[in-house]
Chain A
């Protein structure tokens, strides 16, 4: 569904994304991970036609970005990182504007708006001003907006940043539900457990480069399925083992408090990028 070949983006001298190649299948939830400034948002901006690539080829839904920009725009839905709802309008009007911009017929448009407001549970607040909405409500409305024109691909840039845990879980359910309906989803996230929970495959980026791409499970197994964690004077240390018995044998040799647990995506991330991110 999404096909990226040797894509690079430079801003002046600075290279934001360096020679990225990637294929995402139809109906897949794909996660893009990486520390701040790794080039995730730039990648999303280029894939959503907000920025043009310096080099490389981008194909979405069989159309090449450089030739058929308008077609791509009509089959993608985008939820950006920042709240970019029109605060001078009500939720209904925000959705109507979006529907008009995507050339939906009035009857279909109104029906979709009703459906989606129900879907994100905002139907009883459809005619209040968006300005008064909380972060979670705004995010839900933005997802409804992105889905209104029935896109084939959904881009979510940090969809749950700054949200309450309850709201985050609801959003996760929502995203899974969409996948079951055949939508392809590409999301960037800072939250490792979010990627682990949602994504079939993840790519880890660092300094504009793709450094790993696999299923979350496989990335963990690369290190070993079990992790022993302990603290000494230098800080927290982690060692990985393929076998549980080996891990517990090692843990027994340590005199400090130790934790024996399954390896998670955060371990893989930290090992690969060498830095801890907010969790």
Chain B
């Protein structure tokens, strides 16, 4: 099984290696824009919790960016491969288990999320942010990447057109990237909305990353919730891989 996971991962790694230059360059664009617009531009006059706004949003930007990259590196290629190119069949007719496929794909998506987060962290330091990077920070980040890579896999297996995939992005990921404690603390929002936001995985990623970066207590509960999301999405993913044969 480990070998099969490696095979699935190896294929994605091969493709990433070929495009690594382009991958890194394109991943720099949106974080730079966020850092300029919200950190330098808008954020200059804002103070949050006695710190600069730049320091406040860096964990948020990392959370939302690792979400987008992890989700989309699994979601759109897998959706295309299932619906249009039919390359998914190559894995379906191979003597490997669905679990191996799911773990391999999610791991390779998470790797891309982590690489792009590393780029943001370096950029953020270049912009003058202060952050405490610890082992817990890495754990929270890995968990967030895994949550959204596995969510991408589920979406790719459920959505039947490229357009539906784009809609999923618009209705699920886009609202999360603005609302889930990325750019502001959602304490002043109406109770019902706040309750809903508390439920979403990205909120826990932002909370956890921010708490760790500012040297606060280790946010164990948030980490556990993210782990639960990963288990749930991977479980659904395996189930969908089996169901695709019905």
Binding site for B on A (CB under 8 A): 48-52, 70-71, 73-74, 76, 78, 80, 82, 84-89, 93, 97-98, 100-103
Contacts and interface: CB of A to CB of B under 8 A. Distances in A.
- A-B pairs, 6 with minimum CB distance: A101-B94, A73-B95, A84-B86, A100-B7, A74-B95, A70-B95
Contacts of B87: 84-86
A163 B62 CA distance: 50
Contacts of B3: 100, 103
Nearest to A51: B245
B96 to A, nearest CB: 6
Contact of A101 (B14, B18, B96, B246): B96
B89 A89 contact: no
B11 A86 contact: yes
Contacts of A89: 11, 14-15
B91 interface: yes
Given A70-B95, A74-B95, A86 B245 contact: no
Interface residues of B, number: 21
A78 B93 contact: yes
A102 B89 contact: no
Chain A interface SS verdict (over half): loop
A87 B14 CA distance: 12
Interface of B: 3-4, 7, 10-11, 14-15, 18, 85-87, 89-96, 245-246
Nearest to B18: A88
Contacts of A73: 93-95
Nearest to B97: A70
Contacts of A85: 87
B90 A88 contact: no
Given A51-B245, A73-B95, 19 more contacts: A49-B92, A49-B93, A50-B92, A50-B93, A52-B245, A52-B246, A74-B95, A80-B89, A84-B85, A85-B87, A87-B85, A89-B14, A97-B7, A97-B10, A100-B3, A100-B7, A101-B4, A101-B90, A102-B95
A98 B90 CA distance: 8
Contacts of B86: 80, 82, 84
Contacts of B94: 73, 98, 101-102
B101 to A, nearest CB: 10
A134 B89 CA distance: 21
Contacts of A48: 93
A51 B96 CA distance: 16
Nearest to A71: B95
16 contacts: A50-B92, A74-B95, A80-B89, A84-B86, A85-B87, A86-B90, A88-B15, A89-B14, A89-B15, A97-B7, A97-B11, A97-B90, A100-B3, A101-B96, A103-B3, A103-B95
